[in-house]
Amino acid sequence: MATAKANDLMSVGELAQLLNVTASYVRKKLLRKHVLRPVTIRRGRKYASRTKAEAYCAKRKKVARRALRGLARVSQEAGLYRDAITATNR
């Protein structure tokens, strides 16, 4: 098994900043549930692979964009934008 270099690992705080979440969310949800595995422990601190974290971040952004497009489509079909434009023109 190859060992990870120090610059290939991200601390819990760095992961939280990258993902725009709290450090406790990273610890409780992502590390404990093995979303960002393998977890390396050095001197009592937990680290995860930078490539895994960046891949997870890209995946979540893709899911969020898809959900936003779906919301816009449903809103358009429901006529929410048309009603808002009509109300502002009065």
| CATH architecture classification, 6-88 | Orthogonal Bundle (1.10)
Is it the case that residue 21 has pLDDT exceeding 60? yes
| The predicted structure's pLDDT at residue 55 | 95
Judged on CB neighbours under 10 Å (0-12, 13-18, 19+), 36 is: buried
| The predicted structure's pLDDT at residue 84 | 64
What whole-number distance in Å separates Cα of residue 55 and Cα of residue 25?
A: 18
Domain ranges for the chain: 6-88
| pLDDT tens sequence across 33-88 | 989 988 899 999 999 999 999 999 999 999 999 999 999 999 989 888 776 666 67
